[in-house]
Structure 1
Amino acid sequence: MELRTLGGQGLTVSAQGLGLMGMSAFYGSTDEAESLATIDRALELGVTLFDTAEIYGPFTNEQLLGRALKGRREQAVIATKTGIEIGDDGAVTGLNGRPEYIRRALDRSLHHLGTDHVDLYYLHRVDPQVPIEESVGVMAELVEAGKVGHIGLSEAAPQTIRRAHRVHPLTAVQTEYSLFERGIEQDGVMATLRELGISLVAYAPLGRGFLSGAITSPDDFAADDYRRIDPRFQGENFQRNLAVVDEVRRFAAAKNVTPSQLALAWVGHQGAVAIPGTKRRRYLEENTAAAAVTITAEELAAIDAAAPHGIVAGDRYTSDQMQFVNG
């Protein structure tokens, strides 16, 4: 697995990471034994970046990763997130970017992860009631204390990124980015990251599974799968978006790779580190093989023409969730 350096502070990670969310939350049933085996296999394949958050579960995803890495913590770069307030009983109460909450949440995450530090700590969502300088200020203090190696934001607007970066250098900004979701190319986020030397970590690089080509009906999802309410998987939107997937499938077939591999290779060619989520070894192996897929300039141009920004139908979150995006 190729290695890349995130940001300008020397954090080296695998060119593709592993998103762990679905192992514990939001995407239907879970299987702890298979999830642990998938993390084991990821380490064997050279994956070093493991992405979690206290909200995933809540707490159970961090605990899962802690168990998986017991006795081999040094092999992994742990990224986790804070900023969505959760009581110790698991009750979620909303956004909270106040310094006192971030301090307490980190200590709780360290306990769940079974470690004395996290390598990359994100503010999961920007709290509009708290100046970003205050949230990032306490994160900088946690770096100084040795509890955090590097810091980042998730789903932040260009001006917020600039203000945060002035307080303490951001190593990465995590946001949704894929052939399905290219909004950061238009809203100034991508340009801001490149200007400031901040790396992009792309979550949902497979369009929440759509770009795998395996989803043909909303009925493919379990009853408790979040995607049943995702606007892009609803009614007419779903049918229109299948046409985009068909284009990706056509390009992939021409290169003798899977649609997932093509989609992940495309994200990598944009300079981002993708963190595709999976809870099964067979999909992990398929995804990591994308690191060896090359795309020519001519192929990139053809893909861009087939899947430009704005071609996908439907918002990427429900209206209630969108208020917390790009803060």
Structure 2
Amino acid sequence: MTFRIAGDLEVRRLGFGAMHLPTEPDSARAAAVSVVRRAVDLGVTLIDTAYLYGGGANEELLAEALHPYPDGLLVTTKVGVARTGPGGGWELNGRPEVLREQVDQALRRLRVERLELLQLHRVDPGVPLVDQVGALRDLRDAGKVGRIGLSEVTTAELEQARGVVDVASVQNRYSLVDREHEPVLRACGAAGIAFLPWRPVLGAATDAAVGAVADELGATPAQVALAWLLARSPVVLPIPGTANPAHLEENVAAADLRLSADQLARLDR
């Protein structure tokens, strides 16, 4: 079960979100390295990170665990959120000079010469969207970025961005019980744009319909939620994240779970 991002970058549709991996230099970090290596051993070929996750520490962790990267593995990162100052809080920052600097830092931390997929973490309302996307396009043209994606966008923002550059992916919050961005998913499906739902199993554990289907299949609610996403649209690439090895195994196994037409209909309702 694979998808070609931008028509040429093939990945398995069930990916891994690295946000929850601890990065402190202790036993928890060593366990995180083991988890992400195990994800790759299980066949995961899409791993999602971001500068926001620890101010780059998450990117460094992935490089420590996986570099030199196996053939076919895509590590995608996000830029566009920055600290207000040393030790300060986080704020949206899509100024072109900030995006350029964050891309250069990501290249260094991930130990690569090109980011095959780079996503704008959020649209900064203080900077024209065309300027933010235009800066990423210029980085692509300079050879530092292969493909460009967006995160937490509306259909209008997606359309506007596509007027500036080819958009390869969209990463919005979406799950079986949280379908606020259904219009964005439909737009991505129509255009063949990869849709990476974050928080993909949100609410599954407490939903009665999900629990009933899980009991019927001898699966976990999280597995049912992931299987539903994979059946929802061929452009959906869920990126469940965990630091728990057992949960990782369960999540990856969800790719082989098949829901009947009746079960899908019940979950859709």
Residue of structure 1 aligned with 2:228, choices 266, 269, 283 = 266
How far does residue 30 in structure 1 lie from its aligned partner after superposition?
Answer: 8.4
CA RMSD of aligned residues (A): 1.9
Shift of 1:190: 2.1
- 2-structure distance, mates of 1:9, 1:289: 26
- The SS at the match of 2:167 is coil
**Of 192, 195, 203, which aligns to 2:198?**
203
- Residue 45 of structure 1 aligns to which amino acid in structure 2? L
Structure 2 unmatched runs, 5+: none
Q: 1:297 to 1:68 in 2, by over 3 A?
A: same
The one-letter code sitting in structure 2 at the alignment partner of 1:23 is L
Counterpart CA distance in 2 for 1:62 and 1:87 is 20
User: What is the one-letter code of the residue matched to 2:141?
Assistant: E
Which residue, 252, 261, 264 being the options, matches 1:300?
264
> CA shift at 1:15, angstroms?
1.1
Match among 250, 254, 257 for residue 290 of structure 1:
254
- Partner of 1:104 in structure 2? 101
Q: Which runs of 4+ in 1 moved over 6 A?
A: none
**1:276/1:76 CA distance change after superposition, 3 Å:** same
Q: What is the match of residue 154 of structure 1? A: 151
TM-score, with length taken from structure 1: 0.77
Aligned to 1:84, which of 73, 81, 84? 81
- d(CA) in 2 for partners of 1:120, 1:166: 19
Q: What is the one-letter code of the residue matched to 1:133?
A: V
5 Å matches for 1:97-176?
Answer: 97-176=94-173
TM-superposition CA deviations, 1:20-45 (whole Å, max 9, x none): 001138xxx98111111111111111
Normalising to structure 2: TM-score of the pair? Answer: 0.92
Q: Please point out which of 180, 192, 200 is paired with 2:187.
A: 192
Alignment partner for residue 210 of structure 2, among 242, 248, 252?
A: 248
Of all paired residues, the percent bearing the same amino acid is 37
Unaligned segments of structure 1, at least 5 residues:
214-241, 306-327
Tell me the distance in 2 between the aligned counterparts of 1:192 and 1:109: 29
1:40 aligns with 2:4: no
Q: Give the conservation status (yes or no) of the 8 Å contact 1:84–1:92.
A: no
CA positional deviation for 1:89: 4.3
The number of residues matched between the two structures is 265
